[in-house]
Amino acid sequence: MTPGTGAVRVVHGAAATLTCAGLAWTLWAGLEQPGYALAFGALIVVGELARWGAGPGEREPAPIGAAGALAYALLGECAGRDTSHGVLQVVAVVVAAALVGAVLHVARGRGPALDHVARRVLTVGFAAVCFQPLYNSGELERRLGQGPYYALFLLVLLLLTALCDAVLAAAMLRARTGFPYGPLLRDELRAILGIGSAVCATGAVMALAVAVAGLWALPVFCVPLLLTQLSFRRYAAVRTTYRQTIASLARATEIAGYTRPGHARRVASLSTAVGRELGLTGGDLTVLEYAALMHDIGQLSLVDPVPDGATTLLPVPEQRRIALLGGAVVRQTGVPSAVAVVVERQADPYREQPLPARIVRAVNAYDDLTGGSGRSASGALGALERLRLGTGQDYQPEVVESLARVLARGGLAPAPPG
């Protein structure tokens, strides 16, 4: 069992317990107002069917389903009639609908991740626990009425629900990866400003609209979120194509025989892990990944390839010349100028480098020294020792130690070539 897996089991256990309680109670007591439950369940099913694969920038792959689940948790009236469903029925309907909507994806081998399902259950349960008892008892209306204070209560509840989801997501990532919790939480909170804010706002508006206009409000208020989802999918497709273009450019040195197969990919993967270990997030990680992929592109200017592409073993002036040529090439590709700066400065003394350049330099040296397989004469531990000996001038000590921690979590096993 990897360190921190216990935290994941606690979250999964809590979600499973809440799910079992909701389903058992609903089966025993029966559905309250089944028409409402069916309508919101159908909305969640449609949202799940329309999901897309979640990537680093798509933290909510089924926004319509998430908004429908949140709206049902915050539903107090329908067309002026009080609702009577409680917290456990909310959980049961959300889980049942999500399972139905996931059947097609599971059949295609693209089912939702268990971590995501657990977060959905717990966050929707949190919102329902905070709202349903207060509303059903009449305490909420007596204290706040139906005016601006009620809207403010919903706003605060939405913020707390989003915060709950971010805390859970960051905790589970911390448990699975070992990366520092603070940067992971900042990443999750930043994601709330994107599709997360649209999900929360649409969920609250749906609940308020159904309270006045009835269930016909559901399809009407789904349209803005559907358009947002389509826009996000187009953006994700463009970004994927952009990254594939950069990866193809990076492979030019391998195809031409200047570097070992898989070198750029290994350096990029390990550099990103070290960057997360050091607290980099968001755009900084993207710059680091792109620079790591393209860090050797300057070798295409050489008449004779460096043996095994190991620029670490070249004289410093030659390393800098290759780095400057690489930066000039990168500037012609249209990537952010910050990427070119990292490529250009990867051979400078580390005290003069930005942090991404320090990371790329250390990781590139590690891959060069191990031959990309960990079976060289020095081996992985020997390569780390060489890096530690160079911390006076060439490599930042904190970067080298972060690299050692990342490798230790993987058993000092470098990524396979190719």
Q: Tell me the per-residue pLDDT of 92-112, one tens digit each, with 9 for 90 and over.
A: 999 999 888 888 777 777 766
Reported confidence tier of residue 307, pLDDT bands at 50, 70, 90: low
**Is 127's pLDDT higher than 90?**
yes
| SS3 state at 77 | strand
C-alpha–C-alpha distance, residues 129 and 14, integer Å: 14
122: how many CB neighbours lie within 10 A of its CB? 20
Q: In this predicted structure, what is the pLDDT of residue 1?
A: 41
Contact 21, 88 (CB under 8 A): yes
How far is residue 375's CA from residue 369's CA, in Å, rounded to a whole number? 10
| Residues whose CB is less than 8 angstroms from the CB of residue 272 and which lie 6 or more positions away in sequence, other chains included | 285, 288, 289, 292
For residue 358, pLDDT over 70 is answered with: yes
Per-residue pLDDT of 238-250, as tens digits, reads 777 777 878 887 7
Q: Please state, in angstroms and rounded to a whole number, the distance separating the CA atoms of residues 363 and 344.
A: 16
377 or 224: which carries more pLDDT confidence?
224
Task: Give the 3-state secondary structure of residue 82.
Answer: strand
* Predicted TM-score (pTM) of this structure: 0.75
* CB neighbour burial string for 16-33, b if at least 16 within 10 angstroms, e if fewer: eebbeebbebbeeeebeb
Closest CA to 132 of 86, 79, 80: 86
- C-alpha distances out from residue 178 to 98, 169, 274, 376, Å: 30, 13, 11, 28
